[in-house]
Amino acid sequence: MSVKLVANDHGHAHTRANNENLRRGIPLRTSRIIAAGSAAIVLAASSIAAASEKERLEERLRAVEPRVIEWRRDIHRNPELSNREFRTAKLVTEHLKRLGLEVQSGIAHTGVVALLRGGKPGPTIALRADMDALPVTEEVDVPFRSRATAEYRGETVGVMHACGHDAHTAILMGVAEVLAGMRDSLAGNVLFIFQPAEEGPPAGEEGGAELMLKEGLFEKYRPEAVFGLHVWSLLRAGEIGYRSGPTMAASDFFTIRVRGRQSHGSRPWQGIDPIVTAAQIVNALQTIVSRQVDITRNPAVVTVGAIKGGIRHNIIPDELEMIGTIRTFEPEQRAAIIQGMERIVRSTAEANGASATFHVDPSGNPVVVNDPDLTRRMLPTLQRVAGAENVKELALITGAEDFAFYAREVPGLFFFVGVTPRDQDPETAAPNHSPRFFIDESAIGLGLRAMTELTLDYLAAAGG
Ligand SMILES: [Zn+2]
Ligand SMILES: [Zn+2]
């Protein structure tokens, strides 16, 4: 439950905030002071201090929230594809510099990071937002609808923030502003990570979280923990979703090339048909998950997403290409699935007298694993901010996120902020990546609060 302060009712809210804090046993400092003596008086004084601190925080959050929404709309109207986030990075850089942070731009191409040094000693924690949009033509009728286009895989495409990274970027800009205003009382440092290319860099380029780390991000700043959020269509505005342990799938991108021998469509016996071979491969691949994976341990997914081959109704082509994705939750299962696929591709091609290659791109994402201890420690914060009844434990998500790379280095917590309007069924809402993906902006304030309060609670607990 969040402590709601009403502008003309500070005294009353004060008391409510106190009671709330006491009931939850939040002011750790208080209990130590009590032990030192003169219990009641010190307790009262300390609670008042805590409450007015809380009040000031609430004022800061309330002041920045409309601007976060403005930034989000501005970024939404001007989306940029992965590794091309030039305008967004500039907006972020200028904002962070205005806040007086130590800013480093141009990391992993267009990434921006900034360090906020707290006034008191303590650990460094990292907060991450991603900045890139998708090759999707927006169909949502909002005043800040995207009309942007760009080149993608040799085609001109519409560009849209169909995954909500506009909201992530704007929220983190807001968190930076709130925390920068409180820097003297922070026991530790906050590293703000504005990351490019979460959706994957263009072919032939590196990018995203993996490249940020490769360029030494964590070696330089040494964060003790990392937090990230994702706006999520499967939850309603006002709700937060989380999960402990494995949360989002490892994703692998594969390419299959089937090589036959060209012939006229009327005389197939003179060639080797790669199209019929490919059809058999696609069907046989379905037996991996249905017959070869222990589905009681983990779910898995094998999807062929595109087949390209041939040009005309009566010409059997020489070869064709298929691409697809594999989603897994365990390294051993991942390895077994890849092995099984390789076997099916090779032997099915052979059975048809064709040949085939199977290639798994090495740039896949690992599983997003939320550190169980960190999740347990921070859950009360999420419950306080959203209201316990609005915090849902989620099932495994077969989507992937390159936040996984950070959470592999240090304990991480990646959580989900609902954005589907409250009166709509999330199951029927347009999902992330859809041209109709829609964010109910009333959710943005919750994301802002959750990220800010996670940071404050973590640092307060670490600093004692
Ligand atoms: Zn996405
Ligand atoms: Zn995303």
Ion ligand 1, residues whose Cβ is below 5 A away:
163
Taking only Cα atoms into account, the Rg of the chain, rounded to an integer number of angstroms, comes to: 25
pLDDT number for residue 172 = 98
Determine the distance separating the centroid of ligand 1 and the alpha carbon of 137, expressed in angstroms.
15
Say yes or no: 229 and 273 in one domain. Answer: no
Segment 268-285 mean pLDDT: 98
Report the candidate in 224, 292, 294, 209 with the shortest Cα–Cα distance to residue 458. 224
What total of structural domains would you count in the chain? Answer: 2
pTM: 0.85
Whichever domain contains 294, its CATH number is 3.30.70.360
pLDDT at 38: 54
Closest ligand (CA of 164): 2
Ligand 2 centre distance from Cα of residue 143 (Å): 23
| Tens of pLDDT, residues 111-162 | 999 999 999 999 999 999 999 999 999 999 999 999 999 999 899 999 999 9
Same domain, 245 and 267: no
Q: Which ligand lies nearest the alpha carbon of 231?
A: 2
Instruction: Give the sheet arrangement for strand 111-117, strand by strand.
Output: 102-107, 111-117, 187-195, 120-130, 225-236, 412-420, 240-242, 391-393
pLDDT at 168 over 80: yes
CA 88/CA 107 separation, integer angstroms? 14
DSSP secondary structure, 218-255, as one string: HHHH--SEEEEEEEEEEEETT-EEE-SEEEE-EEEEEE
Indicate whether 236 and 299 sit together in one domain: no
Is residue 198 part of the annotated active site? The answer reads: yes
Same domain, 113 and 146: yes
The closest ligand to the CA of 160 turns out to be: 1
**pLDDT, tens digit, for every residue of 13-60?**
333 344 444 334 344 344 444 444 455 555 566 667 777 888 999 999
The rounded Å distance from CA 235 to ligand 1 centre is 16
Rounded CA-CA distance 414/171 in Å is: 15
- Catalytic pick from 65, 198, 199, 457? 198
pLDDT tens-digit profile of 408-444?
A: 999 999 999 999 999 999 999 999 999 999 999 999 9
CA 425 to ligand 1 centroid distance, Å: 21
In a domain, 5, yes or no: no
CA–centroid distance, residue 433 to ligand 1 (Å): 6
Q: Taking Cα atoms as reference points, which of 226, 224, 228, 227 lies closest to residue 121? A: 224
User: Domain check: are 233 and 262 in the same one?
Assistant: no
- Asked if residue 378 belongs to a domain, the reply is yes
Residue 2 lies in a domain: no
Does residue 332 form part of some domain?
A: yes
23 φ, ψ (degrees, to nearest 5): -60, -35
Residues 232 and 147 in one domain: yes
Residues 239 and 293 in one domain: no
Do 222 and 286 fall into the same domain?
no
Please indicate, yes or no, if residue 114 is contained in any of the structural domains. Answer: yes
Number of the ligand closest to the Cα of 251? 1
Ligand 1 centroid, distance to 89 Cα (angstroms): 18
Tokens for 193? 């990570």
Task: Compute the distance from residue 25 Cα to the ligand 1 centre, in Å.
Answer: 38
Q: How far apart are CA 30 and CA 45, in angstroms?
A: 9
Catalytic-residue membership of 132: yes
* Ligand 1 centroid distance, CA of 43 (Å): 48
Which of 219, 226, 78 is closest to 147 using CA atoms?
78
Ligand nearest to the CA of 200: 1
Quickly list H helices, 112-237: 165-180, 208-214, 217-221
**Residue where a domain terminates, one of 327, 360, 393:** 360
Q: Average pLDDT in the 63-85 region?
A: 98
Alpha carbon of 199 to ligand 2 centroid (Å): 7
CA distance 175 to 172: 5
Residue 88 scores a pLDDT above 50: yes
Mean of all residue pLDDT scores within the chain = 91
297-322 confidence digits (pLDDT tens): 999 999 999 999 999 999 999 999 99
- Indicate if 305 and 401 belong to the same structural domain: no
Out of 360, 378, 401, pick the residue that ends a domain: 360
Q: Tell me, yes or no, whether 426 and 319 share the same domain.
A: no
CATH number at residue 459: 3.40.630.10
Classify burial at 346, counting beta carbons within 10 Å of its beta carbon; exposed 0-12, middle 13-18, buried 19 or more.
middle
CA of 319 to the centre of ligand 1 (A): 31
Residue 135 lies in a domain: yes
Q: Which ligand is nearest to the CA of 166?
A: 2
Coil/strand/helix, residue 157: strand
Domain stops at, among 334, 360, 386: 360
- Residue 76: both structure tokens together: 């939404």
3 domain-assigned = no
Mean pLDDT of 60-74: 98
DSSP 4-71: ---TT-HHHHHHHHHHHHHHHT--HHHHHHHHHS-HHHHHHHHHHHHHHHHHHHHHHHHHHHHHHHHH
Between the CA of 199 and the centroid of ligand 1 the distance, in Å, is: 6
Q: Domain range spanning residue 291?
A: 251-360
Going from the Cα of 189 to the center of ligand 2, the distance in angstroms, rounded, reads 26
Task: Clarify whether residues 207 and 316 are in a common domain.
Answer: no
Domain for residue 1, yes or no? no
Given 130, 132, 210, 457, the catalytic residue: 132
Q: Which residues of 66-100 are buried (b: 16+ CB within 10 A; e: fewer)?
A: eebbebbbebbbbbbbbbbbeebbebbbebbeebe
Indicate if 341 and 419 belong to the same structural domain. Answer: no
pLDDT at 54: 87
* Ligand with the closest atom to the CA of 414: 2
